[in-house]
Amino acid sequence: MSDNILNIPFLNNVQQGKNNWWRYLITIFIVILFLLILGPLIASLIISLPLIAMGLITQSFDMNSYYQMVNSAWFNLLLTGISFSIVFLVFYICLRFLHHKKLISLITLEKVRWKKIVKGAGVWLAIILLMDLIAYAINPQALKIYFNPSKFILLLVLALILVPIQASFEEVFFRGYLLQGTSLLFKKPLLPLLITSLVFASLHFTYGIGSILNMFVIGMTLGIIVLVDNGIEMAVGVHIINNIYGNVIHTAPDAGLGSLPSLMINSSSFLSFLVMVLASVILLMILFRGRSEEIKKLFL
């Protein structure tokens, strides 16, 4: 392992377990395979087969209705949650049996700091709520309030169950596994930070260039949080509340899952690039007030 000039304890967690290059290659290949193909396929079967079987038994199965269901935002929400649960399990198996690492080593130094998750979620929620209020004050016509109590409650329950799984896996994999793994190749944290943020952003290519840029910014921001705080907990909190807010409270054309019955619908993109940059800077200023030097050192 190369010596990390800044001696960041969280990155040094990588010393635990086995770090042969082929172990990373196999794990990353398996994760991408399940993330893009096998996970969604298995998840779709888990959701669809019981419904198809029930329809055949009751003689009410209709192919057109089935296609409409598969293309619905509800189906995509369930598909995303279940497929990420499968991917998380597969990744954990690779981590334990290929790398002989403990999951906690990708999360924090000793034990999970639950208050940090709450802090990250609370601060980011306050920031994006403020951004929404400002956007509404500037252009109220762009924002449409939509509230259907039964659909909203169902959406909220599903999001509270499924989104934390998705967000937690992405933080463990990108800001834990990959950030630590790429630190083996470099003496400074900047390149691992850039590489993992680029990979994270590139996997959102289906949502367009605007989403890729936003995801790169949020990836860099979450990476900085992890490196300065020596753990992914605050990043997990930010990621969870960001995804819940984007699905339940405020959806937009580039939200990814489609027309969910969110509380607010915006005709423009949710958190455009410049707004995302501003929001991310504010987030870092609040979380690490008086610690700007620690952030600057990451870029030296």
Q: Give yes or no for residue 257 having a pLDDT over 70.
A: no
Question: Using 50, 70 and 90 to split pLDDT, how confident is the model at 5?
Answer: very low
> CB count, 10 Å around CB of 166?
20
> Taking the CA of residue 261 as centre, how many other CA atoms within 13 Å lie in the half-sphere pointing to its CB?
13
Q: Give yes or no for residue 2 having a pLDDT over 90.
A: no
Structure tokens at 96: 């334990």
How far, in Å, are 34, 87, 140, 205, 256 from residue 37 at the CA level?
5, 10, 41, 15, 17
Q: Where are the domains of the chain?
A: 17-101, 110-300
Structure tokens at 283: 């987030």
79-132 residue pLDDT tens: 899 999 999 999 999 999 999 999 999 999 989 999 999 999 999 999 998 988
**Is the distance from CB of 241 to CB of 125 less than 8 angstroms?**
yes
Residues 5-34 have a mean pLDDT of 92
Question: Using 50, 70 and 90 to split pLDDT, how confident is the model at 4?
Answer: very low
**Is the distance from CB of 52 to CB of 61 less than 8 angstroms?**
yes
> Taking the CA of residue 212 as centre, how many other CA atoms within 13 Å lie in the half-sphere pointing to its CB?
9
135-178 residue pLDDT tens: 778 877 767 777 788 888 888 999 999 999 999 999 999 999 99
pTM of the shown model: 0.89
User: How is 145-191 classified by DSSP, letter by letter?
Assistant: E---HHHHHHHHHHHHHHHHHHHHHHIIIIIIIIHHHHTTT-SSSHH
Q: Give yes or no for residue 270 having a pLDDT over 80.
A: no
Q: How far apart are alpha carbons 146 and 262 in whole angstroms?
A: 7
Q: Looking up tokens 């497929």, which residue turns up?
A: 83
Q: Give yes or no for residue 205 having a pLDDT over 80.
A: no
**Is the distance from CB of 270 to CB of 250 less than 8 angstroms?**
yes
Task: Give the helix/strand (H/E) hosting 143.
Answer: strand 143-145
207-229 residue pLDDT tens: 778 788 989 999 999 999 999 99
Structure tokens at 233: 């907990």
Which residues have CB under 8 Å from 93's CB, separation 6+?
Answer: none
Q: Looking up tokens 């969870």, which residue turns up?
A: 240
Longest dimension (CA), the chain: 67
Q: Which amino acid is at 12?
A: N
